[in-house]
């Protein structure tokens, strides 16, 4: 079961990805996006640090305006809190894949992690809007059986 937090609504992962990115966007792997990917990876470390410290309000306040328009702060805090409560602290995260998207005048970087928490392993998907030297959380997805069963 995937739990999604996205600027429009919670849907199954594949339809959500298609809806969020639109039919005009294509994921492409381009060498000149490496700097943006590096910034997004640093943002993941920051996100995990905030999650471990239970700084959910800060995660929300630092997220993209489209993210915030899709879910109010109290619901986002509830979502992050539930993931932290059920899975525990992040212990390690392994980047499995990344996909940059340069379309419609913006750069979105998708990072796909296998993340080890205290209680279980989860698959995390981060979509970061990268502009200059800034990576802002645009979308977040976490998938672990523990989120359903615990």
- Residue 50 inside a domain? The answer is yes
- Residue 21 inside a domain? The answer is no
Confidence category of residue 52, pLDDT binned at 50, 70, 90:
very high
User: Quick one: 103 exposed, middle or buried, by C-beta within 10 A (0-12, 13-18, 19+)?
Assistant: middle
Query: What are the tens digits of pLDDT across the range 20-43?
Result: 333 333 334 344 578 999 999 999
Residue 5, SS3? strand
- Residue 11 inside a domain? The answer is no
Q: Is the pLDDT of residue 12 over 60?
A: no
Query: What are the tens digits of pLDDT across the range 70-81?
Result: 999 999 999 999
Beta-strand runs (E) in the chain? 2-5, 90-103, 106-117, 121-131, 134-143
Q: What is the pTM of this model?
A: 0.79
- Residue 64 inside a domain? The answer is yes
Confidence category of residue 96, pLDDT binned at 50, 70, 90:
very high
- Residue 134 inside a domain? The answer is yes
User: Looking at the 3D structure of the chain, how many domains does it have?
Assistant: 1
> Could you tell me the CATH number of the domain that includes residue 46?
3.10.450.590
Q: Summarize the confidence of residues 126-133 as an average pLDDT.
A: 93
Distance in angstroms (rounded) separating the CA atoms of residues 87 and 121: 8
Residue with tokens 């489209």: 66
- Residue 95 inside a domain? The answer is yes
- Residue 3 inside a domain? The answer is no
Q: What pLDDT does residue 17 have?
A: 36
Contact 11, 141 (CB under 8 A): no
Residues of the domain holding 129 = 32-149
Average pLDDT, the chain: 83
């Amino acid at each position: 079961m995937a739990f999604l937090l996205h600027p429009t609504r919670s849907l199954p992962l594949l339809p959500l990805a298609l809806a969020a990115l639109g039919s005009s966007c294509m994921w492409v792997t381009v060498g000149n996006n490496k700097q943006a990917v590096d910034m997004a990876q640093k943002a993941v470390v920051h996100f995990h640090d905030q999650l471990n410290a239970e700084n959910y309000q800060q995660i929300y306040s630092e997220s993209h305006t489209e993210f915030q328009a899709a879910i109010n702060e109290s619901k986002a805090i509830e979502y992050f809190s539930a993931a932290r409560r059920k899975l525990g602290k992040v212990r390690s995260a392994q980047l499995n894949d990344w996909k940059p998207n340069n379309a419609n005048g913006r750069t979105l970087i998708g990072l796909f992690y296998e993340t080890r928490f205290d209680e279980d392993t989860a698959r995390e998907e981060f979509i970061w809007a990268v502009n200059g030297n800034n990576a802002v959380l645009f979308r977040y997805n976490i998938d672990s059986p523990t989120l359903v069963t615990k």
